[in-house]
Homo-oligomer: A and B are copies of this chain.
Amino acid sequence: MFEHHFQSHPGFDIHIIVLYSSNMTNKRSSISNKDIVLQTASTLFLTKGFQVTSMDEIVALSKVSKTNIYYHYKSKEELLLAIVDQLISRYEERISRTLTQDMSIPAKMERLFRILTEDNEQIDYVGGCPFLTLYTQTSHSSSEARAKIKAFFDKQLQVVEKLLEEGVEKKELSRNLPVHETAALIVTSIEGALFLTKATNNPMLAQNLIQAFASMLK
C-alpha cells in the first residue's frame, strides 16, 4: 500500500491511498498510471468536490504526466464517468454476493445496510454518500453520470422490494408488511442517513436506523 499525504488547501488534508504491491513500484508507469489517476481524481471529487477540482490538480497530485492522463481520459467528465462506473460495480458486486448467501431476509437487509454505509466511516465524502456527492456537484454538467446514478438507485429499490417480498413469502416478515412502501422507506432513509450523519456529525443516526428497521420488520 502506498499513501500520499499532503496539505493542498489550508486546513484541508487529503489522503490518497493507492493499492498496489511493492514490486510494482518501479514499473508504475506501464502498469497502474491509469488506476492512480482514477484513484486521485476519485479522492478529490468525493472529498473536495468535482466543480472545484481541476485537471491540473489531478496532474499535480497523481504525479502522472498531463499527456499520460489525457491519453486515458479526455476530460474531467470522462474521469467522472469512470469513477461512477467503478463505484457502482464495487457496490453491486458486494450486494449481489450478499443476495446469494444463505441467510435470513432480516440478516440480508442488515448486511445490505452495512454495505451501503460502511465506506462512509472511513472516507469523508462531501455529502456523506459518494453518489449524492457526485450528483449534486455535476447535476447540470453530466447527464450521463446522472443516468447511471438514477439506474443505481432504481435497482436498489427493486432489490430491497424483492428481498421484502421473499421475506413475506418465507414468513420471516409479517404478511401485512406493505412491501413497495417499505422498500421506499428503507432506501430513502439509508440515503438520508448518509447525508445527515455527515451534516449533523451524528454517528448514532445509522445505529438508530438499524434498530428502527429491526422493530419495523419484526
Residues of A within 8 A of B (CB): 9, 12, 48-49, 51-52, 126-127, 131-133, 135-137, 139-140, 146, 149-150, 153-154, 157, 178, 180-185, 187-193, 195-196, 199-202, 204-205, 208-209, 211-213, 215-216
Contact = CB atoms under 8 A, between A and B. Distances in A.
Contact of A154 (B49, B178, B180, B200): B200
A215 B217 CA distance: 12
Nearest to A205: B184
Given A185-B212, A205-B184, A139 B153 contact: no
A181 B150 contact: no
B199 A185 contact: no
A148 to B, nearest CB: 11
Interface core residue of A51, A139, A154, A190 (most chain B CB under 10 Å): A139
A189 to B, nearest CB: 4
Contacts of A132: 127, 132, 136, 195, 199
A189 B49 CA distance: 25
Contact of A136 (B126, B196, B209): B126
Contacts of A195: 132, 135, 191-192, 195
A208 to B, nearest CB: 4
B51 A12 contact: no
Contact of A182 (B51, B150, B188, B212): B212
Given A49-B140, A51-B49, A136-B132, A185 B189 contact: yes
